[in-house]
Amino acid sequence: MNEKALAEERLDSWRQSRINDEDDTPIFLSVKNNQNYFNGYGAQETSDMLFQALIYPAMPTFAVCQDPQVWERFKTAVFLYQDTRLGLVNSKPIILPYVSSRRPFRFNRDGHNRFLRHVSTYRRQFVNVDRDTLAKINDFNLLDFNATLQDNGYASGM
């Protein structure tokens, strides 16, 4: 992510390949299982990044990639999420400890709890959102359980 232009070029290349293949794999699996383009993304990182983009994890990959608005949300979230993660590691003063203690294999509950403050959705029963995010969620109609998710990421009525 320190070479943003190159990363953007690779991401756009991946996008085009998913459109060409009409890849119907859920976007969650496409990101989590592809370390060539999304190095370091596991289930937690993918969940949080997709939520940040307000993209349903089961949306087909080609639907995310072919719609310009959804793609822009996805691409923005990929880079913003990585910047946030780098900020955790490079923060001054240090937010997360480098080692557990003099005994490096001891579970560091304090470090773990500090990290969990930066996990937004993964394995969360309740998710806190700010006012702007809630407004976007409502604009996309994502809270209507009877709505059907469209290819453009919006949900439409019953």
Tokens 């996990």 belong to 119
Q: What 3-state class would DSSP assign to 87?
A: helix
pTM for this model (two decimals):
0.80
Domains within the chain, CATH numbers bracketed: 4-153 (1.10.8)
Residues in the chain, total: 158
- With 0-12 / 13-18 / 19 or more C-beta atoms within 10 angstroms meaning exposed / middle / buried, residue 73 is buried
Tokens coding 48: 């949080």
The per-residue pLDDT for range 88-145, each reduced to its tens digit, is: 777 677 776 666 667 777 777 777 677 767 777 777 788 888 899 899 988 888 888 8
**CA-based angle 154:145:32, to the nearest 5?**
60
